[in-house]
Structure 1
């Protein structure tokens, strides 16, 4: 009986003192041997950038970035799509935004789009991007894969769309007392 009480206390202490954080895990293809070059976490936002381990921040061929925006209750996928399209067209006027897929499930919408830049400029950080956005409850997740190409091949889009859609949600628990 004492063991049962102890076990219950341990489990309940995790509920009261641990902080639950929902995370989208996307399994990046191992062929690139990724390394983290930036990692920022706060209560409202997480941001992480990966590049292949033999490359550096100034000279990369492919780059994956992931952002999490917590407490962002949005209900309309079309509003978010328009927001991203407008943002990219302001930042890189020559870029072409193309919506590839979308789902407008209530509280769990998502879309995949590509942004191709046929006329790269010095201001453009990358030439072409595949973008995955998914809203889960009150959290917005953004995953982008960028390459220094003027356009994205059909094979690239197919491969990375599958990688994005295979992402899974899980909860991480951290100790609030630290």
Structure 2
């Protein structure tokens, strides 16, 4: 029996979902409610996270456009910023983007998950912890550099000692050889 490469029903369902998402987003772009540059990002995201789609069909296209543009801004931020940046200098920007996107009728569970993963509410990461990590990194970096220098010095000493040993062996060989006539 030949192994199956995924459930054909799931493939058809995903393709169908992808086409529906793309069609809705393209309509919003055509009506100038959604920025064209957000189209690929939103399409990829919404196909992989269909629960985040706006489900209310009574919403106006203008509302949907605002909502999806806002979601796209949050997604761009998430693609370009690290947790350390969010815990530091970019926290306010992240919180504002998240709050803006939450104000629309999206799936709140997805936003809750992003917030938990990004802000670690149950792990209080203090500035002291981040500072200690930075100090430790600097110290270990210095230690590594010192060890590299020592290794280079030892390699040089080894090469020099091997040359001296080779010279001694040659002299010993010359003195141990028969005198001959």
By percentage of residues, which structure has more strand?
Answer: 1
Do Structure 1 and Structure 2 share a fold, with TM-score over 0.5? no
In our comparison, the structure showing a higher alpha carbon Rg is 2
TM-score, normalised relative to structure 1: 0.23
TM-score, normalised relative to structure 2: 0.23
By percentage of residues, which structure has more helix?
Answer: 2
